[in-house]
Chains A and B, each alone.
Chain A
Amino acid sequence: MAAYGLGATNRRLTGHGSSPGLRFTLYAFVSIVVMVLDQRGGWLTEARFLLQAAAYPLQLAVSSPSAAWAWIKESTQAREALRAENERLRARESALALRALNYEGLARENAQLRGLAHALPPIVDRWLIGEIVNVELTTLRQRLLINRGTTNGVFAGQAVLDDSGLLGQTIHIGPWSAEVILVTDPEHAVPVQIERTGLRTIAVGAGNEGTLALPYLPANADVKAGDLLVTSGLGGVFPAGYPVARVAEVHRDAIQPLAQVRAVPLARIDRDREVALVWFNDERTKNPDIQAQPAPHPSVPAGAAPAAPAPASAAASAVPAKAAAAPAKSKTSPAPKSAPKPAPEDQAEDEVQ
């Protein structure tokens, strides 16, 4: 390729020592190397970190028109409207405080009933409010940029919530900013539990309509429209018991071995301006020998293995999403390779209950 288009005239006109062909070959090579390194993960994290820091000012500038518009709207809002809102928020605040009191009691009672320290689900112990800087909601990319980064202690694979449900998790981290992948992104998967029945499965982002799909439920699974999906806490990325979505429709086809289930996320993805980043203590992920200890079931260590190390948990949760993207797109192959994936989790669940 380098030899092509390397005429003497061309060299003179471009004015550089090397021909465009050679330059292109060089850049193409660099691009491919960078892509492979980035795809393998790890190696380029530092570089991405620095680049993201460099890009942050421009990202702020990009979001400034909408931020300015929001500011204008807010500052011209009538006083009555503000007062009404204040009233409403105060009422809500007292209601929430009451519920929180109730929750404390329940949590303690729950711990006593279980009686086992290591059986406790991970509980959120600290959170940080971040502001949304930029929103990217297209069919393929359901991402947010928030104004918190490593200087605030944010790490990759951290759960992000809003006041009504789970939003997603952080993926790329900069010093002052972090990119959040939403639960509705087609590359995201979250381990969930149907609150009514306790059935565990994985919810994958459907992307196109801002909804979630449950692609691994068998056709005879007990699920119906209106069911609440909560995080199961498996995988160690998300704290357990947080609301994720509500099932909107269940489609059962006699030919298909799996039910087609759609769920609408509870988090107000398109209306939020602030999000909460959470830290939680997960006994199971902190202490690897605890999880191996109660093993009456031979398959348990295998099922719990992907959830073991906390740093790898982001990767662990990302894996089913990639595998799931294929069956979601092509309905022609009803039994994809990834179908057995949820099975070990089901077995692990049997053990816990």
Chain B
Amino acid sequence: MSARMREPRGRLFFTILLALFLSVVPLPAWLDAVRPAFLVLTVLYWSIAAPRAGGISLGWIAGLALDIFQGSVLGQHALALSLVTYIAVREHQKIRSKPVFQQSLIVMGELFIYEFVVFAIDGWTGHALYGPLHWLQILTGALVWPLAAALLGRSHAPR
């Protein structure tokens, strides 16, 4: 595939690994409650900026990695993350052309879908459910998005 040559696969892999690290590194409880979903943000960024490099496979694999690290039901985060990746990949042109503020709102919607799927599967499989404070992560994720996008954008050459 000729497209593969131009794709920033190495950086993608590195940033995903870093985001996974940030998502699972132990933090104090108060900080943990508002920790943005770094892995989701990074996967979303790559789905929008370079949908050919990772795509839905990337989302699924990243989600599965999260499942292993968090000891949750295998496939739970994988499903949630592949769903939001699918939406991002399908709409990547529209999202990419939006100003950063609107992108944040879209990301907030995506994070809500993600958290909702995780929440629903937790409920169906009989696991304990997160308290209302957990939904703050959607807000912090959206707030962090402009910064994350700028940092990740710098990590690879502009198109």
B51/A24 in contact, CB under 8 A: no
B82/A28 in contact, CB under 8 A: yes
Shortest A209–chain B CB gap in Å is 11
B126/A325 in contact, CB under 8 A: yes
Chain B residue numbers with a CB within 8 Å of A13 are 51-52, 93
Is B108 close to A, CB under 8 A? no
Whole-angstrom CA separation of A13 from B94 in the bound complex = 13
B25/A143 in contact, CB under 8 A: no
Whole-angstrom CA separation of A59 from B17 in the bound complex = 12
Whole-angstrom CA separation of A219 from B82 in the bound complex = 49
Which of B26, B70, B128, B131 interacts with A325 by CB under 8 Å?
B128
Mostly, the B contact residues are helix
Extra contacts, 13 of them, besides A137-B29, A138-B32 (Cβ < 8 A), are A14-B52, A21-B90, A23-B56, A23-B57, A27-B56, A31-B63, A31-B79, A31-B82, A34-B74, A35-B73, A48-B74, A134-B26, A207-B128
A63/B56 in contact, CB under 8 A: no
Is B97 close to A, CB under 8 A? no
Is B71 close to A, CB under 8 A? yes
Whole-angstrom CA separation of A13 from B47 in the bound complex = 12
Mostly, the A contact residues are helix
Shortest A13–chain B CB gap in Å is 7
B69/A59 in contact, CB under 8 A: yes
Is A256 close to B, CB under 8 A? no
Chain B residue numbers with a CB within 8 Å of A139 are 130-131, 134
Chain A residue numbers with a CB within 8 Å of B151 are none
Whole-angstrom CA separation of A191 from B108 in the bound complex = 43
Is A225 close to B, CB under 8 A? no
Chain A residue numbers with a CB within 8 Å of B21 are 58, 61-62
B21-46 vs A, CB cutoff 8 Å, 1 = contact: the mask equals 10011100100110000000000000
Is A55 close to B, CB under 8 A? yes
Which of A14, A66, A143, A208 interacts with B55 by CB under 8 Å?
A14
Known pairs A24-B83, A59-B69, A141-B70; A31 contacts B25 (CB<8 A) = no
Whole-angstrom CA separation of A39 from B57 in the bound complex = 23
A31/B131 in contact, CB under 8 A: no
Nearest 6 Cβ contacts at the A-B interface: A31-B79, A34-B75, A24-B86, A35-B75, A186-B128, A31-B75
Whole-angstrom CA separation of A5 from B94 in the bound complex = 13
Whole-angstrom CA separation of A187 from B124 in the bound complex = 14
Which of A38, A140, A186, A208 interacts with B73 by CB under 8 Å?
A38
B65/A20 in contact, CB under 8 A: no
Is A282 close to B, CB under 8 A? no
B26/A58 in contact, CB under 8 A: no
Shortest A53–chain B CB gap in Å is 10
B29/A20 in contact, CB under 8 A: no
Most chain A beta carbons < 10 A, residue from B25, B68, B78, B131: B68
Chain B residue numbers with a CB within 8 Å of A141 are 70-71
Known pairs A13-B51, A58-B20; A24 contacts B26 (CB<8 A) = no
Known pairs A62-B21, A136-B26, A138-B29; A172 contacts B82 (CB<8 A) = no
Most chain A beta carbons < 10 A, residue from B25, B51, B56, B121: B56
Is B127 close to A, CB under 8 A? yes
Known pairs A14-B52, A139-B131; A55 contacts B68 (CB<8 A) = yes
